[in-house]
Structure 1
Amino acid sequence: MKIVTTPESVLEMALAAMARTPDERLRTVMAALTRHLHAFVQEVRLTEEEFESALDFIVGIGHATGDKKNEVVLAADLLGVSTLVALLNNQDPQGESPAALLGPFWRANAPLCATGECIARSDTPGGIPLEVTGTVRDTEGRPIAGAIVDTWQASPVGLYENQDPQQQDMNLRGRFETDAEGRFRFTTVRPAGYPVPTDGPCGVLLRAQQRHPNRPAHLHFMVSKPGHKVLITQVFADDDENLESDPVFGVTRRLIGRFEAQQDGQAATLAHDFVLEPGEMKFPRPPIP
């Protein structure tokens, strides 16, 4: 009889039950996941109390996800999985711009703005004016006209607009179309670093691991044009103290931008170019509405 006889025999039976899965990729992924999960449980000798805690954590991140925050994405970020997936799928073999994790705060359909427009639509106390410029090119170095540069960021107090009732809807978010030379330009305020949300299960985990929650200051970008793979990336402030300890492991050397101080520190500029690779223009699912 094919029944469970030992702890080790459970894996064999589980894999056999999944072997009939018609979808080859699903069959491969689920078999690998099951093998690794069983190996993990065996390695750490998971107790029943720890298993309960793990299930509570998974349920908790679901309950903590809503219109203002995606705790599931945050958990994947804090475990380094989001960055790992981004790096594995974007190896830039042709010199295209490096990718980064999407993060839990992107919203689709940000306002389409005119060149040079300011995306700071609410009062931003302490915000240093920042002018951002750049060019979008293909892997042959040719400028890409009509590319859409979608950008979003935290405020100078470290909050995205969906977290802060003092900010207007879609504040510090905007989409810009490149001109005939592939250029884009907009103004904003210099973002601050900020803590990832710590009011849910992910915060409990960070505290238990004695990890700080503070992301280095950065701008998010999503650059797209039909016929090219959508680039999801971030540009980090080069003077931030948390570049080497980003809690979501999102900083790579090529993602560090140069924020130039102007007017005795009363303004700043950032010049940063992007290179798109050929491919399908496929957008991610928004983490929040």
Structure 2
Amino acid sequence: MNHADIDTLVKNWIVDAASRPANPRVQQVVQRLLGDLCKAIEDLDITPTEFWHGIAYLSAAGAANELGLLSAGLGLERFLDIRADEAEQKAGLEGGTPRTIEGPLYVAGAPESVGFARLDDGSESDRAETLFMQGTVFDQEGKPLPNAKVEVWHANLLGNYSFFDRTQSDFNLRRTIVTDADGRYQFRSIIPVGYGCPPDGTTQQLLDLLGRHGQRPAHIHFFVSAPGHRKLTTQINIDGDEYLWDDFAFASREGLVPAIARIDDPAAIDAKRLDKPFASIDFDFHLYRDTEAAPSTIVERNRAAA
């Protein structure tokens, strides 16, 4: 069957077979995706056994709640970011902090504070490297933005995230920081480690068949938002990580690998009320103003809430 025949067949199934008003956007998307899938079945001579194995795989991935992880691992989430970057460039927006993927592990409702927050609950302090990270949220003209929200979340020393890992305290390594009058934020936490896909999970199963690893470098996630400005979804990577530029989720980007200073000066250590050296990262965020010339950066998707 040729592609034209398939297009006719799929139109008959999706459009012509409709007996009552349909959602035109859903109809358009389903017709296109179903047509492309039928063409792939034809072109690649996909057998019924292969087809039903694929259906079983998607069912298992959904049951394991790994479809978000799979989307990142196949590059689909990165592709959405590429399209968003292109739209902003066409709208004349440039110079802002690079975006990168959200991933599937955000949890809404983290405790909020002004100017400063401690993210970690202290349970790993004896084994972890203490981190202080600080910076300013700027607008498009380079002016500091008071009352901007910096939502931050990252993994612990086992590569696990609170809420999804029930052994951790509520909202461990998760906070929302409202910038102070000078647009500044700061937090104390620990240097996280990278993590891998669940080794026996559905995402790693497919990656194994593709000859790929499922590792991520150590990183820290952010949502940064302010009234009248485009929401930024991004993350920084921890410099020196083995997988810094080999992220299975394709989220590593230039401009998102800040330098890490190791502070061992006794006076600086004492000023932080610590008894050992610590790490420090300076990182500023630059937001764009709201504009109708580019699609919204507010993404509606299922997210956890605690």
TM-score interval, smaller chain: 0.7 to 0.9
Q: Is the 8 A contact 1:87 1:99 kept in 2?
A: no
Q: Give the corresponding residue for 1:197.
A: 198
- Separation in 2, partners of 1:148, 1:281: 15
Give ranges in structure 2 of 5+ residues lacking alignment. Answer: 266-275, 291-295
Paired residue type of 1:43:
D
Work out whether 1:14 is the aligned partner of 2:10.
Answer: yes
What CA distance in whole angstroms lies between the structure 1 residues aligned with 2:119 and 2:179? 16
Moved more, 55-64 or 251-260: 251-260
Q: Match of 1:68?
A: none
After superposition, the C-alpha distances for 1:169-216 in whole angstroms (9 at most, x for unaligned) are 110000001112211111100111111233321121122223222100
The CA RMSD over aligned residues, in Å, is 2.3
Structure 1 residue matching 2:206: 3-state secondary structure: helix
* Counterpart residue identity of residue 119, structure 2: I
Distance 2:238 2:281 in 1: 9
The 1:47/1:40 distance shift into structure 2, 3 A limit, reads same
C-alpha separation between the residues in 1 aligned to 2:179 and 2:24?
A: 41
The one-letter code sitting in structure 2 at the alignment partner of 1:202 is T
Shift of 1:139: 1.3
Tell me the residue number matched to 1:233.
Answer: 234
Q: 1:19 to 1:277 in 2, by over 3 A?
A: farther
Distance in 2 between the 1:82 and 1:283 partners? Answer: 12
**3-state SS in 2 of match to 1:255:** coil
Determine if contact 2:155/2:161 at 8 Å carries over to the other structure. Answer: yes
Paired residues of 1:228 and 1:281 also in contact (CA < 8 A)? no
Structure 2 Cα separation of the partners of residues 7 and 55 of structure 1:
24
Alpha carbons 1:108, 1:286 under 8 Å: kept: no
Equivalences for residues 118-267 of structure 1 within 5 A:
118-124=118-124, 125-263=126-264, 266-267=277-278
Contact 1:222 1:233 in 2 (8 A): yes
Query: Partner amino acid for 2:108?
Result: A
* Identical-residue share of aligned pairs (%): 30
For these two proteins, the number of residue pairs brought into alignment is 279
Q: Distance in 2 between matches of 1:19 and 1:259?
A: 57
Q: Is the 8 A contact 2:150 2:178 kept in 1?
A: yes
Corresponding residue for residue 84 of structure 1: 79
Q: Is the 8 Å Cα contact of residues 10 and 35 (structure 2) preserved in structure 1?
A: no
Note closer, same or farther for the CA distance 1:43–1:254 as it changes in structure 2 (3 Å cut).
Answer: farther
Name the CA distance, whole Å, in 2 between partners of 1:56 and 1:228: 43
Q: CA 1:286 to 1:126, structure 2 compared with 1: closer, same or farther past 3 Å? A: farther
Q: Is the 8 A contact 2:151 2:223 kept in 1?
A: yes
